[in-house]
Amino acid sequence: MLSLENIVRNPQKTRSALIRRGEDPPIDQILQLDLQRKSLIQAADAERALRNTVSKTIGREKRKPTPKEITEMRETGDRIKSYEDDLQSVLTEMNAILLSLPNIPLEDVPDGMDEESNVIVRTSVGDTPSHGNAHWDVAPMLGILDLEAGASIAGARFFVLKGKGAKLQRALAAWMLDVQTEEHGYTEIDPPLLVRPETMTGSGNLPKFKDDLYRDDESDLWLIPTAEVALNGLHQGQIIDPGRLPLKYVAQTPSFRKEHASAGRDVRGIKRVHQFEKVEMFRYVEPEDSEAALEEMVQEAEGLCKRLNLTHRVLELCAGDIGFQSAKTYDIEVWSAGSAEWLEVSSISTCTDFQARRNDTRYRPEIGVSTKFPHTLNGSGLALPRIWIAIIENGLQTDGSVVIPDELVPYTGWDRIEPEI
């Protein structure tokens, strides 16, 4: 959530920043509501002061209130109640507007409205071959992917991994978790997959993206679209003690997405599906450490691609293409030789204090000083099944087998997937 104080202090700066994202922010409406808020608070305070003065006078004179005073105090109480009710209405309307506004992009984020304006920061050394044998053809022949079974069980955009295909995914996730926990200092979390609406609101998914999310109507619990939601909720409503930041968490969970916005895109294979596994990195940091933490997380995710021997590139997203809660985002894409395209396998973002404000997550820098909002950062480390796709398509051999990256062999127990006979 954006800071109301900052909007009121710098309305034109806020407006210009959100216009960079393609938004038409109702800044004037917010300013008008803030004036109403202040006016109602002042009016209610004045009535309370009047009531207190009369009460003190009666007490000082050690007498009972007169009938006229009783009537006036009753009327004063009614006015206070009316002001409080009006104030609550104003606050509700203002909060709804603030919850609908995305984060402000950092000043160094490139201008642009869509992916065409994203900037390629660097591309790794490596080939970008194309052999035309996409995973939706290769993997079923290997007996490791069953698209028809997925559709039969759950409908379109669901799939079943089998045998070595299922173990490859499990090996990838286990290896990634081990790297993040043992080498990069993250604490592994196994969070709930169903969360309260307050948790979904805190992450920035509600109310804007409710139509893209799966919900249990009876309990009003929501299936997470990413582990980021649950990890962001770990400290909601809390004050983090001095000296505890940075906090670094990692989780492997399924992600559930309706993908309405992507209708018609990437419909073949398992590039864009309703349920998929992902390893998610998440950090709470002090604001002054946010920029360095973002670069470090990019290196951590990119390092996984390097160790899997996947040709990859890092892109900086333009202002119009970053996510709702993001202030700055890098994407990492890997080359996949079968479909001959770059596949996004990680998106790493700093959300500044946007999520912390929505969650009312604070930290105390030192004992005895005021609390502040921490910055939150998140990133895939990495997303399946696109890494799985890249390994299958890039590891395809002329005999139809698939060679597995050396890093994964200790987790799979084999280095090759052979065609079914």
Do 124 and 53 sit in the same domain of this protein? no
Do 223 and 263 sit in the same domain of this protein? yes
Per-residue pLDDT, averaged over 185-198, amounts to 98
Residue 109 lies in a domain: no
pLDDT score recorded for residue 323: 97
Residue 105 lies in a domain: no
Query: Per the structure, how many domains does the chain have?
Result: 2
Do 176 and 261 sit in the same domain of this protein? yes
Do 170 and 289 sit in the same domain of this protein? yes
Do 199 and 336 sit in the same domain of this protein? yes
Neighbour order of strands in the sheet with 328-336 = 119-123, 312-316, 328-336, 341-350, 375-383, 275-285, 247-256, 187-188
Do 68 and 170 sit in the same domain of this protein? no
**Cβ distance 14 to 26 under 8 Å?**
no
- Examine the pLDDT at 421 and tell me if it is beyond 70: no
Longest dimension (CA), the chain: 103
Residue 332 lies in a domain: yes
Do 96 and 152 sit in the same domain of this protein? no
Residue 259 lies in a domain: yes
The pLDDT tens digits for 307-353 are 999 999 999 999 999 999 999 999 999 999 999 999 999 999 999 99
CATH number at residue 246: 3.30.930.10
DSSP conformational letter for 183? I
Do 89 and 151 sit in the same domain of this protein? no
Burial 89-121 (b: 16+ CB within 10 A, else e): ebeeebeebbeebbbbbbeebbebeeeeebeee
Three state DSSP letters for 241-283: CCCCCCEEEEEEEEEECCCHHHCCCCCCCCCCCCEEEEEEEEE
Tell me the Cα Rg of the chain: 27
Residue 290 lies in a domain: yes
CATH number at residue 70: 1.10.287.40
**Across the chain, what does the average pLDDT equal?**
96
Side-chain-side CA neighbours of residue 179 (13 Å) = 26
Residue 107 lies in a domain: no
**Cβ distance 342 to 130 under 8 Å?**
no
Do 291 and 331 sit in the same domain of this protein? yes
Looking up tokens 């591309």 gives 123
Q: Is the pTM of this model over 0.85?
A: yes
Per-residue pLDDT, averaged over 374-399, amounts to 97
Do 90 and 121 sit in the same domain of this protein? no
Domain holding 177, by residue range, is 115-417
Residue 110 lies in a domain: no
Do 88 and 194 sit in the same domain of this protein? no
pLDDT score recorded for residue 48: 95
Residue at a domain's end among 100, 126, 145 = 100
Q: CA 165, CA 182: separation in Å to the nearest integer?
A: 26
Residue 125 lies in a domain: yes
Per-residue pLDDT, averaged over 269-280, amounts to 96
